Amino acid sequence: MALPARWSEKIEASDPADEVMAIQMGPSHPASHGTIKFNLKLDGERIVDCDVEVGYLHRAFEKMCEQGTWTQCFPYTDRLNYASPLINNVAFALAVERLLDIDLPERGKFVRVIMSEISRITDHLTCLGMASGEVGAQTVMFYTLEAREMLYDLVEAVTGARLTVTWCRVGGVTHDLPPDFKERVAHCFEMLDKVMIDCDKLLSRNRVFIDRMSGIGILPKEDAISYGLSGPLLRASGVPYDVRKAHPYLVYDRLDFEVPTGERGDNYDRFNVRFREITQSRRIIEQALEQIPEGPVSITDPKVVLPPKERVYNSIEGLMNHFKLIMEGIKVPAGEVYQAVEGANGELGFYVVSDGSGRPYRVRVRPPCFLAMSALNKMLLGHMIADIITTFGMINMIGGECDR
């Protein structure tokens, strides 16, 4: 049956661009890890363009830090990347300690490294578990979350909290490791080994998982560098850059560990790099527990660290010292410094400026996942709508860090 003349003329005159559909995904979407908006242009289900909007969760982190004392900033750092808050604590403490030109006791350095690596493992387990669940491997998600709970028990034993720990202080930490900590870590790692082996068996030959992850979101090495990426995203593209190796801090230069890298820079490589980094963090923790010396975990400078409670309660000098540090804050010498550490998502840096008072004059944070979001458009072009969730999940965007 022939089409009417007016219909055939309309079909021949149609512009292919008219078939591109513009839709908005988010900012409140049940499958996205955080409040973020994708302005999509689609040809069917294939992505022609993707404009990513962040900033829906602006928390005023930097301005809030400038309103309080140096010590009062630590609870705010917990809420940046809340999947690995201990690393945020350590980064900010190191920045302020550089301005004060103080050096931690040896035990304090080792304790910070141990807790940072435990926090890194919990972050990676969270990311890998959620990414597995999104492609149908729900069992892997439950296994990784079970392992994360065991590590949270270790964090709670040291800090007294599971998530927002506020554990570090300028000049040290609030609590030392408990006496049985080494044994508890050994038991936890035995259970972690079983979980990782089971997850590997469930995923390494899983055709659905491999097809959904392999060849998706490819970012070549040159593009990864030009976008300023760091951490697992950069290493998955084949660049072996790690702040712990390139610019060692604390005692990382005394510990033996490798920097896993990928080849293609796709989602499968990103998943695999994080998976292998868990093993390397375990190596670091085990070495640190073997080498950790006895001694204090904080300095004893009364101008920086709060006096013991016995001295506060039983002497007027201790009470005055405590009052001045709490109300006026630590008097940090005037100056500015940038301190970077290797966060779970990449280079986490704090740029702090002091005017000599007890409060920060300026605090600026370099959040690794904020820079990674700029490369999402490049990763998604040409792929399907379903690939948005897997690619976005492997970036591991944390709203509190991105929209600080």
In a shared domain, residues 181 and 320: no
Q: Can you tell me the mean pLDDT for 280-293? A: 96
Alpha helices in 292-398 (DSSP H): 309-314, 316-327, 368-374, 376-380, 386-395
pLDDT band for position 27 (cuts 50, 70, 90):
confident
In a shared domain, residues 321 and 347: no
Residue type at position 34: G
- 156-197 pLDDT per residue, tens: 999 999 989 999 999 999 989 999 999 999 999 999 999 999
- Residue 9 predicted with pLDDT over 80: no
Q: Read off the pTM.
A: 0.92
In a shared domain, residues 338 and 322: no
pLDDT at 8: 41
Task: Give the number of other CB atoms < 10 A from CB of residue 307.
Answer: 17
pLDDT at 247: 95
Residue 47 lies in a domain: no
In a shared domain, residues 307 and 158: no
CA distance 40 to 25: 7
CA distance 378 to 222: 12
Q: Can you tell me the mean pLDDT for 336-345? A: 96
In a shared domain, residues 85 and 143: yes
In a shared domain, residues 155 and 193: yes
- Residue 240 predicted with pLDDT over 90: yes
In a shared domain, residues 233 and 313: no
In a shared domain, residues 189 and 267: yes
pLDDT at 5: 47
CA distance 100 to 98: 5
pLDDT band for position 7 (cuts 50, 70, 90):
very low
Beta strands 335-343 and 172-173, pairing class: unpaired
In a shared domain, residues 317 and 204: no
Residue 71 lies in a domain: yes
Residue 12 lies in a domain: no
pLDDT at 19: 83
- Domain span at 313: 299-332
What CATH number should be reported for the domain holding residue 179? Answer: 1.10.645.10
Work out the widest C-alpha separation in the chain, in whole angstroms: 102
In a shared domain, residues 321 and 232: no
pLDDT band for position 13 (cuts 50, 70, 90):
very low
pLDDT band for position 17 (cuts 50, 70, 90):
low
CA distance 171 to 331: 13
At what angle are helices 106-134 and 386-395 packed, to 10 degrees?
A: 170
pLDDT at 12: 46
CA distance 401 to 205: 34
In a shared domain, residues 110 and 156: yes
pLDDT band for position 71 (cuts 50, 70, 90):
very high
Of 192, 203, 102, which Cα lies nearest the Cα of 153?
192
pLDDT band for position 16 (cuts 50, 70, 90):
low
> Over pLDDT 90: what percentage of the chain?
82
Report the residue count for the chain.
Answer: 404
Distances (CA, A) of 73 to 70, 101, 251: 6, 19, 24
pLDDT-wise least confident of 28-32, 34-38, 166-170, 359-363: 28-32
What's phi and psi for 57, nearest 5 deg? -115, 40
pLDDT at 55: 86
Residue 375 lies in a domain: yes
Number of domains within the chain: 2
pLDDT band for position 3 (cuts 50, 70, 90):
very low
Residue 357 lies in a domain: yes
In a shared domain, residues 176 and 257: yes
- Residue 26 predicted with pLDDT over 90: no
- 197-231 pLDDT per residue, tens: 999 999 988 999 999 999 999 999 999 999 999 99
Residue 254 lies in a domain: yes
Could you tell me which residues come within 8 angstroms of residue 229 by beta carbon, excluding any fewer than 6 positions away? 219, 237, 346, 368, 371, 372, 375
Residue 117 lies in a domain: yes
Could you tell me which residues come within 8 angstroms of residue 310 by beta carbon, excluding any fewer than 6 positions away? none
Residue type at position 303: K
Residue 11 lies in a domain: no
pLDDT band for position 18 (cuts 50, 70, 90):
low
3 vs 309, more confident: 309
User: Which residue, 285, 317, 332, sits at the end of a domain?
Assistant: 332
Tokens of 103: 């050096």
pLDDT band for position 15 (cuts 50, 70, 90):
low
